[in-house]
Amino acid sequence: MTQGSINIAGLHIRLGEGTAALDAVRGLALAASPGEFLCILGPSGCGKSTLLGALAGHLQPHAGSVQVDGETVRGPGPERGLVFQQHTLFPWKSVLDNVAFGLKVRGVPRAERRARAQQLLQLVGLDGHAASYPTQLSGGMQQRVEIARVLINDPRVLLMDEPFAALDAQTRMKMQQLLLDVWARIRTTVVFITHDIDEALFLADRILVMSERPGRIVEEIRLDFPRPRRTDLVTTLDFVRLKRRCLELLHPQPAAPVLRYAT
């Protein structure tokens, strides 16, 4: 993997119009190396999804620059795959045809695109469900299909907007492990938005913590936990220490008042 670098400098995005307009992010800067797994952590409403929208090309900056592999992002493109919290699968298409859809749009022959889709279903553990329809699958399985549908376009950057937030705790943990297993094989750059500290610590190479709105990066936390990672990581002392640091950043405590006594 030699592609997938990200560089954002001085990003300012203003949402709304007139007196209702607000600065969602301002003065935001970040960089990611090819194949890196970044988690963006921050409080609700801090501009995490706005940042992802700018990377996806759905939102244009008022100031600053967003570049992937040295090229300015000017709109959506298949080299930047986007996975949402809720799946966007076509309910009338089979799982296989949902995954193959991107190649169909690009004019890839039917046999080739279906073979590629089958490979990706095997990668995400759903090769036995190719003929099923989305409504026949659980929430976790639907998200697996969604991930496979994005990966079929061979994106240089995978953008994930709280993709597991709607899942129950057990399924969410399984999906985190699956994502790491898939990423270990494809090594595309991942930018993963979350408000869950445990999730960020378990997944990332680096965590970038955002401030309250208007969002900016206030701290970088580099994670040196060995890979592959397993669920017992969350009980280690280093994990708990870094979780405490994240909590301090997200929920700063006001300074205690200084008491003065007359003498």
In the prediction, which pLDDT does 254 show?
61
pLDDT of 1 over the 50 cut: no
Do 24 and 15 meet the contact criterion of CB atoms below 8 Å apart?
yes
In the prediction, which pLDDT does 261 show?
58
Distance CA 233, CA 237 (A): 9
In the prediction, which pLDDT does 205 show?
97
Q: Which two tokens stand for residue 10?
A: 């001085």
In the prediction, which pLDDT does 64 show?
94
Question: For 179-218, what is each residue's pLDDT tens digit?
Answer: 999 999 999 999 999 989 999 999 999 999 998 888 899 9
In the prediction, which pLDDT does 31 show?
94
Question: For 80-104, what is each residue's pLDDT tens digit?
Answer: 999 988 888 999 999 999 999 999 9
Q: For the residues 155-181, what does the mean pLDDT come to?
A: 93
pLDDT of 221 over the 80 cut: yes
Helices assigned H by DSSP within the chain: 48-56, 95-105, 110-123, 139-151, 169-186, 197-203, 237-250
Task: Kindly report the average pLDDT of the chain as a whole number.
Answer: 91
